[in-house]
Amino acid sequence: MHIDGECQCGQVTYEADIEPGEVSICHCRDCQRLTGTAYRVTVSAPRERFHITSGEPKLYVKTADNGRRRMQYFCFNCGSPIYTTGELHDADQVGIRLGTINQRQDLKPRSQYWCSSELPWVQDIRALPRHDGE
């Protein structure tokens, strides 16, 4: 599936070819802090099929809970997390942040990781009052 996306302010844009089944949720504490929310949703893509089309994201290097260094790329202007990649064999894949993908409504998570760090209420939000706008 061909996708494109951008950060909140539009200064960093990209295109990629992905496999729609490669969407996952991560509940690790690093992802909670890096997103400022309960979990992170990521779409995996081969590095050679991901291309920045405008702008230049800023890099933050984080040593993850599993001990591996993760390159976290985000917009230098608005701070939107855009993608992540790793080193050595981990550099072959890019983890694109779902919220930046223009076609995100067509993608659905297929797996969850680091569930031991999941916040206790995450799987039980269906009963909360719903509103179509603010």
**Per-residue confidence (pLDDT) for residue 125, from 0 to 100:** 87
**103-134 pLDDT, tens per residue?**
999 999 999 999 999 999 998 888 888 888 88
Question: What are the C-alpha distances in Å from 129 to residues 76, 118, 121, 126?
Answer: 36, 22, 15, 8
Residue 88 pLDDT: 85
Q: What pLDDT digit, counting tens, does each position of 20-56 carry? A: 999 999 999 988 998 999 999 999 999 999 999 999 9
Give pLDDT, residue 64.
75
pLDDT over threshold 90, residue 5: yes
We find that the CATH architecture of domain 2-117 is Beta Complex (2.170)
62: closest CA among 38, 97, 39, 86? 86
Q: Average pLDDT for residues 46-69, to the nearest whole number?
A: 92
- Looking at per-residue confidence, does 104 or 90 come out higher? 104
CA distances from 80 to 43, 90, 117 (A): 16, 22, 23
**Predicted local confidence at residue 66, as pLDDT:** 75
d(CA 67, CA 56): 27
The predicted model scores a pTM of 0.89
**Would you say residue 65 has pLDDT above 70?**
no
Domain ranges of the chain: 2-117
